[in-house]
Amino acid sequence: MSIGLIHSTESFGCSDGPGIRYIVFLGGCLMRCKYCHNPDTWARPDTFRQESPEKVLQDAMRYRDYWGEKGGITISGGEPLLQPDFLLELLSLAKQQNINTCIDTAGEPFTRNEPFFSTFRKIAEKTDLFMLDIKHIDSAAHRELTGHGNRNILDMARFLAETNHPMWIRHVLVPGITTDETILRKTADFIDSLGTAVKRVEVLPYHTLGVFKWKALGIPYALENVRTPSSEEIKLANSILHTGYRNKA
């Protein structure tokens, strides 16, 4: 039995997958996104509580009556794929109870190397929906923004498309970083290449609601002077990123 490192949970999530969701935020993330609104999930393992998959599911099941037909459990973070064995056990238990399952991930741990890949394939079979963040389509710019390149992340998206696992693609719109029209069109081309596995595309406007956490942790916030995107920038991004997706609908 695997033990998970749990940062926190939310019993009534409305924006982390279809319907009403019970959200499990796993602790730990290797990426250092400059706009991260949960930098407290980067912390040392000894700062998170340890729980078994059975205990996590037991806690979640208390709220099942609120989920309705579309809701269920979303595993987020941090980065849930950093705990693949625990994740697989939790998802397997959830599917035994016919619970809708969703993983909210940035994809950074993904590799086709073993032993991760075999476990990931099993995880995918127990997951009804992947919510995949594409931070930046250019690998060098992605590294500047997050501390890591994106080739393996895009490869994960391709694998999910090849195996027809449903995805929602999320893209944070940051002025001066991801608002460039050329970059948006390259992102749209990539999303379009994933075919009908992409069920939804979400443009998430950059915000500063998590800045207080950076200050509380004593971490310098690199985007201190970056504004939130304008309505025109949001409209343009939506029009570009939804074009191919809507044509497939």
**Continuous segment of H or E residues that includes residue 217:** helix 211-217
105 Cβ contact list (under 8 Å, min separation 6): 76, 77, 79, 80, 81, 130, 131, 132, 133
Confidence bin at 5 (pLDDT 50/70/90): very high
Confidence bin at 245 (pLDDT 50/70/90): low
Residue-level length of the chain: 249
| 49-53, 77-81, 152-156, 243-247: the lowest-pLDDT one | 243-247
> Is 246 a residue whose pLDDT tops 90?
no
> Average pLDDT of 39-58?
92
Please give the Cα distance from 191 to 82 (Å, whole number). Answer: 24
On average, the pLDDT of the chain sits at: 94
CA-nearest of 100, 102, 83 to 16 is 102
Q: What is the pTM of this model?
A: 0.94
Confidence bin at 43 (pLDDT 50/70/90): confident
Check residue 47 and give its pLDDT: 85
Check residue 247 and give its pLDDT: 47
Check residue 46 and give its pLDDT: 81
Q: Which two tokens stand for residue 210?
A: 């998590």
* pLDDT 10s digits, 102-154: 999 999 999 999 999 999 999 999 999 999 999 999 999 999 999 999 999 99
* pLDDT 10s digits, 178-208: 999 999 999 999 999 999 999 999 999 999 9
Please give the Cα distance from 138 to 191 (Å, whole number). Answer: 14
Q: Which two tokens stand for residue 165?
A: 């696992």
Burial 24-38 (b: 16+ CB within 10 A, else e): bbbbbbebebbbbbb
